[in-house]
Every structure is written in C-alpha cells, then in structure tokens.
Amino acid sequence: MSEETILQFGGGRFLRAFTDLFVQQANEAGQEIGQVVVLQSTDSGYAEKLNAQQGRFHVAVRGIDRGERVDTIQEVTCVQRALIIQRQWEEIVALACSPHLRFVISNTTEAGLTLAADDARDARPPASFPARLLTLLRARFEAGLRGVAIIPCELRERNADLLLSLVLSQAKAWQEREALLRWLQEECVWINTLVDRIVTDRPPNYTLFPEDLLLAVAEPYALWALENKPLPGPFPDLPPILRVPNVEPYFLRKVRILNGAHTALLSQAMPRGYQTVQEALADSEVLTWLKRLLFEEIVPTLEGRVEDPKTFAEQVLERFANPFLHHRLTDIAKNHRQKVQVRLLPTYEEYKARFGKTPPLLEQAIAFHPEGAFS
C-alpha cells in the first residue's frame, strides 16, 4: 500500500528503530499499514539525511535474547519523505487534509509536551507541538474529513490525555469553535502508550552500511503498550505490540525502574569519567550501587502495584549490560531535570511515605547535576 497514512512528529533514532521498523515489518507481513511522512521540528538535520537516502535506513538489532545471540539488520523503506516544519508548513497542512491519513505519531521528548506563551493562531507554523497539532487537526476538521488516531510515544504518564489537554487549552486560548472542540474529543482517538526499547546510534566498531548516516542500533527487547481503543485503520499487529485496557502499570514499572535507573546511574558514572552505560556497569562499584538502588529503594515502592517488579529489574540489568550497544551517558543526560521529576522524585516521595525514612541512594541521585560532572 503506497498511501501516506502516518504523520510522524520526529524522526530521531528511537522512532526509526521502533515505530518505523514495526510499520515496515507489518507492511512486509501484508498488513497494509501504509507509508510514513516524517516531520522534523528542530534543526537536527535528519530530514535532509532521510530525503537524501530516499527515506531508507537500516536498523541493526543486536544483543542476547533468551540466551541466544541476536545480530540482524533490516532495511526500513516505509518512510516516504521528510518535511521540515519551519520551511514546509503549507505542504504539511495539505497532508493533514489527506483522506488517506489515519495516524499521528509523535516523539518530541520532554520538551515537546508544553505550550508556548503567546503562540499566535495565524503563525505558520505555531511554536509549540500541541499548537501545531491543533492547527493541523483544525485544517482537517474544516476540510470535513474524519478524525485520526493520535499516538504519542513521549515517556509521560497518560501521554495522550496530557497532549489532548494541551491541545484543548490552546484551542480555548485561541477561542476555537465548540464544534471543533467536540470533533477533537469525539472524532479523534487519543491513545495513551508506553514504549520500551533501548536504541542507540552506530557504535564506533560497527562497520556495516557505512554510507547509511541514519543507521540505528536496537536491543532485541521491545514492548509497545497501547490503550485498546478502536483505530481508524489497520495498525501493526506484531508480538512486541500489546493492546491493553490500561497502560498505567506498564508505565509505572518501566519508567520508574528502567528510566529511573538510567537517570540515577549518571550520578555514579559521569563523575568517574565513563562515556557509556556499558562502560559504567563494568565497574563493580557502580554496578553494586545500581543494584542496591533498584532492589532496596525502587522495587520496594512498586511491590503490590505492578507485576513482578523484581524480575523486571533483573531483566533491566541484563539489558543494560548488552555488549553490542553503545549507549552514551550524554544522551541519557538530555533534559535531565525534567527526567528527575518524572523518573526519580515520585519514587523518592513514595518511599518516604511508605517506609518513614529517606532513601539514601535516590537522594544522592536526585542531588546530582550532570552539567557539573565535567567541571
């Protein structure tokens, strides 16, 4: 199927090795999902690279899966084109009014799920991601077309509900019509999700497809939990994709354990001068600290609330040790303060409330500021 059915805010390595790879695999399995158009929000430059490569790139899946070594590579060809929001807004508005469009997928990081002060209704484009989305959906509504499914991948609790509330706030600030507000809530489907797969750039020693500037490296593990609401068209149906009544327990377990451990690890690894997660965990002192954090402070706050947090934490340690990944600490340190708020502080507060004392390792991790680590 050659129609462009998916509008994707963001084309970073995570979306390439996760949603795009799934769309590719589903298309190859005859599921007829359609093609993706990537929208570049920042000046990261990947749109030019994607277009120069005719939308094609490779995903290497590398690691150990149930004791077996996995080292595969797959070409992804489902990205039709990439558009730059600042320069090609009118083309993007036209695409939003395509009858073929069914899904809007996003990964705009922690920075994307906020409104900008004084965003102008007639700006082309508006400044914030929610205001841009509102403008595109309004164009679609005014064209008399059916709603779409909005599937955010940002690691925020109830990410779709949050995005909808931001879109509605912006719509009220712009005094949009009631009919549009109803259409957004009743004709569009807002799907809360939880994503999980560690994705890194090409490691220095990986020599396949040297001409591919967009090659991403992923671990074999992948989980995409999506709220099970009716969708406007075929969506990838693959083993890593779970349609569930409620994504909350998946979010809580993954973000508090895996992302919490990553963010906390910086406090031990950066001052020691390590560059990657794998290097840091080869240091037995750092590994022991991380295990204590996980099993003495994080897992106890999740017992009885999510399924088997201890086993999940053990699996996370194995995933972190994946010798084929080159996971840079500087990538994990981006937007650090916002990550601490979501990934560590709630555990800290819940630990104090549940056990009546301060968790010492979490306290250390929360006090750490990566900017100061190199000074």
Q: Give me the residues that bind ligand NAD (CB under 6 A), please.
A: 10-14, 41-42, 44, 107-112, 129, 154-155, 195, 197-199
Segment contacting ligand 44H by CB under 6 A, of 36-44, 171-179, 194-202, 227-235: 194-202
**Cα–Cα distance for residue pair 196/208, rounded to 1 Å:** 25
CB 163 within 8 A of CB 133: yes
Check binding of 62 to ligand 44H (CB under 6 A): no
Q: Is 155 in the site for ligand 44H (CB under 6 A)?
A: yes
196 binds ligand 44H (CB under 6 A): yes
Look at residues 224, 200, 155 and name the one whose alpha carbon lies nearest to residue 59. 200
Stretch that binds ligand 44H, among 130-138, 192-200, 310-318, 363-371 (CB under 6 A): 192-200
Tokens of 125: 């484009």
> Using CA atoms, how far apart are residues 269 and 267, in angstroms rounded to an integer?
6
**Could you tell which of ligand NAD, ligand 44H, none binds residue 214, using a CB distance below 5 to 8 A set by kind?**
none
Contact at 8 Å (CB) between 98 and 2? no
Site for ligand 44H contains 197 (CB under 6 A): yes
CA distance 180 to 124: 20
* Under rule CB under 6 A, residue 61 binds ligand 44H: no
Nearer to ligand NAD, 147 or 152 (CB): 152
Q: Considering only residues 103 through 142, tell me which ones interact with ligand 44H, judged by CB under 6 A.
A: none
* Nearer to ligand 44H (CB atom), residue 58 or residue 256: 256
Among ligand NAD, ligand 44H, none, the one that 108 touches (CB under a kind-dependent 5 to 8 A) is ligand NAD
DSSP secondary structure, 265-314, as one string: HHHHHTTTT--BHHHHHTSHHHHHHHHHIIIIIIHHHHTTTSS-HHHHHH
Among ligand NAD, ligand 44H, none, residue 107 binds (CB under 5-8 Å by kind): ligand NAD
Q: Round to whole Å and give the CA distance between 208 and 71.
A: 12
Neighbouring C-beta atoms of residue 69, cutoff 10 Å:
11
C-alpha distances in Å from residue 370, one per residue of 26, 185, 262, 275, 340:
40, 40, 13, 12, 12
- Minimum Å distance from CB 107 to ligand NAD? 5
Give the one entry of ligand NAD, ligand 44H, none that residue 13 binds, where binding means its C-beta sits below a cut-off of 5 to 8 angstroms depending on kind: ligand NAD
Cβ distance 326 to 278 under 8 Å?
yes
230 burial via Cβ count (<10 Å: 0-12, 13-18, 19+):
exposed
| Contacting range for ligand 44H; rule: CB under 6 A; set: 33-41, 196-204, 243-251, 347-355 | 196-204
- Choose the one of ligand 44H, ligand NAD, none that binds residue 332, judging by a C-beta under 5 to 8 angstroms depending on kind: ligand 44H
Interface with ligand 44H (CB under 6 A): 155, 196-198, 258-259, 262, 332, 334
